[in-house]
Amino acid sequence: MIEHRVKLAGGVTLHVEEDGHGPALLLLHAGVADRHMWDAQWAWLSRSFRVVRWDWRGFGETPHVPGPFSYTDDVLRVMDALNIAQAVLMGCSFGGAVAIQAAVEHPEQVAGLVLVGAGLPGYAGENPPEVERLFAEAEAAGQRGDGRTVMTLMEQLWLVGPERRAAEVDQVYLERARQLLTQAFRPQNGAESQDEEWSALDRLAEITIPVLLIVGERDVPDIVGAARFMADRLPMARFELIEEAAHLPNMERSGQFDGILGDWLVTIGAAKPSGGEA
């Protein structure tokens, strides 16, 4: 594995990891984890791809710094620094939303998308009242500075799934996901993301590259809804629902996830048949 220090505007330095050779595949982590959420995929993908990952600003090893920034611009800066002209972007949750924006704004640099429980910028889905109650409780806890309650509710919503009990979930997965959740967030420090007002709703037709949509059956309902919404509108989309998985299906059901991903990469010609694990 090769490690890079990529300097960005505003004094941020990203600790970027890469391994393997072949077409570039960037792994963009979720907002409830860090780059290590992709550990189960890292080794086998590197046999067919040049895989690259890092912690976003404000997550894991990367602190926020004051001032405006764009996560989407950060993706392009990493590609420039590593001399990557074009890549497949695999993004989970918030990372998927960034991948969508990159594909729309920089189509010549994005060869394909793997969107895992991805947020869709501008999409306003609906959740059952009991799920909305959990989100409201988390927001209220955050406003009063009750970090412990926030983390408990984030675990329920995203790691377990809002309509499941923790006892129903594989405990090895859950413990690892908890570790990533607790290590993910860094203080805001006056940083201001410029991506928050961007919407993809009127621009989905511009995405004419292959897209794999993977979502956990037990994920937050409006995330499942967003995946189905995109599947109906993206011309080269494939939709896959992984049963008994929540927001991080690549961790919770890694064998099934890897099989779906490997098959799709072969289908679009991005990898040799031996590149994935069924």
Tens digit of pLDDT at every position of the chain (278 positions) = 888 888 887 788 889 999 999 999 999 999 999 999 999 999 999 999 999 999 998 888 888 777 877 899 999 999 999 999 999 999 999 999 999 999 999 999 999 999 999 989 888 888 889 888 988 988 898 888 888 898 899 999 999 999 899 999 999 999 999 999 988 776 565 667 766 777 888 899 999 999 999 999 999 999 999 999 999 999 999 999 999 999 999 999 999 999 999 999 998 776 655 444 43
**End residue of a domain, out of 152, 169, 184:** 184
Joined tokens for residue 82: 């590593």
Give the Cα separation of 23 and 1 in Å (integer). 16
Instruction: Verify that 62 and 86 share a domain, yes or no.
Output: yes
Beta carbons within 10 angstroms of residue 216's beta carbon: 25
Whether 143 and 199 share a structural domain: no
Q: What share of the chain is helix, strand, coil (3-state, %, to 5)?
A: 45, 20, 35
Q: Could you tell me if 154 and 263 lie in one domain?
A: no
- Structural domains of the chain, count: 2
Domain containing residue 177: 129-184
Same domain, 177 and 200: no
**Same domain, residue pair 12 and 115:** yes
- The CATH number given to whatever domain includes residue 9 is 3.40.50.1820
Contact 40, 250 (CB under 8 A): yes
Q: What is the DSSP letter of 55?
A: P
Using CA atoms, how far residue 157 sits from 23, 32, 94, 101, 135, in Å, is 35, 10, 15, 25, 8
Are 77 and 12 within 8 A, CB to CB?
A: no
